[in-house]
Structure 1
Amino acid sequence: MKNKIISFCIVFFLQVVIFEKTYFFNSVIFSPIIFYFIIFNYTKNSFSQLTFSFIVGFLLDIFSNSPGVYSFALSLMVFIRNFWIPFYFPFDRISSNKLYNSYELGIQPFLFYSFPLIFTFNSVIYIFDLSSVGVFPFFILKILLSTFLNFILVLILQFLLLSSDTKYDWN
């Protein structure tokens, strides 16, 4: 438990200090904090997960001087995730003791599970930045590029922070 809290604090610090101030290619936003909200254990209608995502988003909003964007984006992603897991996975594969990561699911099912969630998060972040409808195709490209690179970042964080026997370690 102590290792999970320390790793969360490190990733939160990286999000606030480094990744919040850095725009890659002048348009891509990296958000390593979504890693934890994607691999959460599944609990049906979990108010605690929604509350935690809102609090973390609120803290990110305070540090990034954005008026509720991260709070809304993280809360919406966790809310959709609670409906996405029963929709995507067969009933016998849903467990409350299971982390939804690439070690448990495999790379391809993890891609199909997490990519829509990351896309939702990035869409909310970029929609608030949309200034006119004429630049909408450019924003779609930014959203897709950010989604792909955030997915790669989530995979890298899994390989760095989780071990291959995670299913026995973190439950």
Structure 2
Amino acid sequence: MPRSLDRFDIALLNRVQEDVLATAERLARSVPLSPSAIARRLRGLRKAGLIAADVAILAPAATADRLRAIVQVQVHEHAEEKGIAALRARLAAAPEVQLLLNIAGPVDLMVLVVTRTMREFNAFADTYFAADPAVRRYETSFVKSEVKNRPAVRLDEGDVAR
């Protein structure tokens, strides 16, 4: 991590992952610091890049009509690294891509794609997967329903600088 964290930073990072709109006064009820100290620490955590973004997670009711697909991509083992890097960059820039992971195992990339219709998804897959020479094969699973969507990482005392 770019800077040392103490137990107050850990507590603040956990709390703002639960509710990014919590005021410093409200955070002070669970983190034993003054509201001004909390505000300073949060500014420092943002400046250090430990808080990458403040985002809203939409409720399933707001996105229920979207088609979501988890695509597992296997690249050619002899594909040039620049070709694979170009594929990752194109996927990362695509607004339809919600999540892009490099993974280990039989596939190389895991991509969460969100589109309005099957027609849009097919056009996306044809453009980004079928037509890319770095892609050996891809397999798609469609999301039936969202059970949990909480992109938080719980920090604990093991994350405190010693």
**TM class, shorter-length:** under 0.3
Using the size of structure 1 for normalisation, the TM-score is 0.26
Higher strand fraction (1 or 2):
2
The higher-RCO structure (CA 8 Å, 6+ apart) is: 2
Using the size of structure 2 for normalisation, the TM-score is 0.27
| Greater gyration radius | 2
